[in-house]
Amino acid sequence: MLYLCRDFRMDRGSMKHNDEQFAPLWELNELWETLTEEERTYAAEHAEVVYYEKNELIHSDGDESLYMWMLLRGKVRIFKEGIGQRQQIIRLLKPYDIFGYRACIAEEAYNSSASAVESCAVYRMPKECFSHLVRQNGSFCYQVMLMMAKDLAFSEIQTVNLTQKHIRGRLAESLLLLLKNYGYEEDGHTLAMLLPREDLANMSNMTTSNAIRTLSQFAQEGLLAIDGRHIQILDEKSLEKISRLG
């Protein structure tokens, strides 16, 4: 699958949009609360809202890291291309998560790609501005480091999950991850995240066929109910057991 930029004539993402308003950074993610009044003004002045359509590419693995991003509305997948078109989804983002900050700090190219799962709004801040704040404010630096420490722990756990668990364990793990990250719809059972089977496969290190097949099996076993991309979790305990035992 290709995630093409909607319109190659303009910079990625669009700045013109309806009159949707967003609160300033520090009201959305506690990360920014460590900034002083002055720094907040600086941050607000250098953050702009950009919009992406469903499946539009936000940045690509290997691109020069020009911006640090914070998701405002929608969902974003962070992924890496592996051997022969296969993608590995590294993590999925929800509003107010930041991304692209690692590359900005390390002064390296992005080491993964980001694309919109659904129509999105994001704040973007030029690398230099973000870097400046991190270098200037020790508390802010510490908060960013805490975030990175979480990402690192998660990545190392995922390595073991994805390499050592069997297909059923990996898929169960992914479903529970979606649950943890996005929760349920109002009905208290349906995952509040609609993913194509291909993405589910790319999260779980398996082929799309196997994601479809295994999901059907889970449904037959009464662990889930499937209605297209709407997935109801009926037996969380059993899913956890399948995930734990590999």
Site string for DNA, 82-101 (x = CB under 7 A): --x-----------------
Q: Which residue is associated with the tokens 């590999």?
A: 246
Neighbouring CB atoms inside 10 A of 64's CB total: 10
Which positions from 182 through 211 interact with DNA, judged by CB under 7 A?
Answer: 196-198, 205-210
Q: Which of 215, 223, 224, 233 touches DNA by CB under 7 A?
A: 215
Site membership for its own copies, residue 159 (CB under 8 A):
yes
Tell me which residue of 95, 130, 99, 131 sits closest to 114, measured CA to CA: 99
- Per the structure block, which two tokens stand in for 20? 């949707």
**How far apart are alpha carbons 140 and 31 in whole angstroms?**
7
CB 60 within 8 A of CB 113: yes
38 part of the interface to its own copies, by CB under 8 A:
no
Look-up: residue for tokens 């930041």? 98
Asked if 62 touches its own copies (CB under 8 A), the answer is no
Q: Could you say whether residue 1 binds DNA (CB under 7 A)?
A: yes
Whole-number Å distance between alpha carbons of 191 and 231? 6
Residues 212-241 that bind its own copies (CB under 8 A): none
Question: Which residues face 71 on adjacent strands?
Answer: 122
Residues that bind DNA (CB under 7 A): 1, 84, 166-168, 196-198, 205-210, 212-213, 215-216, 226, 228-229
Residues that bind its own copies (CB under 8 A): 80, 82-84, 86, 88, 90, 102, 105-106, 108, 111-112, 134-138, 141-142, 144-146, 148-153, 155-160, 162-165, 169, 205, 245-246
